[in-house]
Amino acid sequence: MRTTLDLPESLLEKLMRLSGEKNKTRLITNALIEYDRQLRREKLLSCQGKGIISEDFSPYKIRNAEKDESNG
């Protein structure tokens, strides 16, 4: 999807230098992916202690169960 954005050039240059990324599209995509992860992690952590997630919660158990279901 093509989108026109007005971004601070100095910020883009700094992030490209720090990341070593040469492609602006990949840089922005990776930043958005990481921001999405951060927001989901914060949302999950905000549930801690509210009884929504049990103390023995393990994302690995869930992931393995999902893999087992998809493998039949």
Q: Give pLDDT tens digits for 18-33.
A: 999 999 999 999 999 9
Does residue 2 belong to any structural domain of this protein? no
Q: Determine the 3-state secondary structure of 64 from DSSP.
A: helix
Does residue 4 belong to any structural domain of this protein? no
Does residue 16 belong to any structural domain of this protein? yes
Tokens of 69: 């279901």
Range of the domain at 65: 9-71
Dist CA 43 CA 48 (whole Å): 9
pLDDT of residue 72: 62
Nearest to 30 by CA among 41, 15, 17, 44: 15
Q: What is this structure's pTM? A: 0.63
Does residue 3 belong to any structural domain of this protein? no
Does residue 44 belong to any structural domain of this protein? yes
Does residue 26 belong to any structural domain of this protein? yes
Dist CA 14 CA 71 (whole Å): 44
Highest mean pLDDT: which range of 9-23, 36-50, 51-65: 9-23
The number of folded domains in the chain is 1
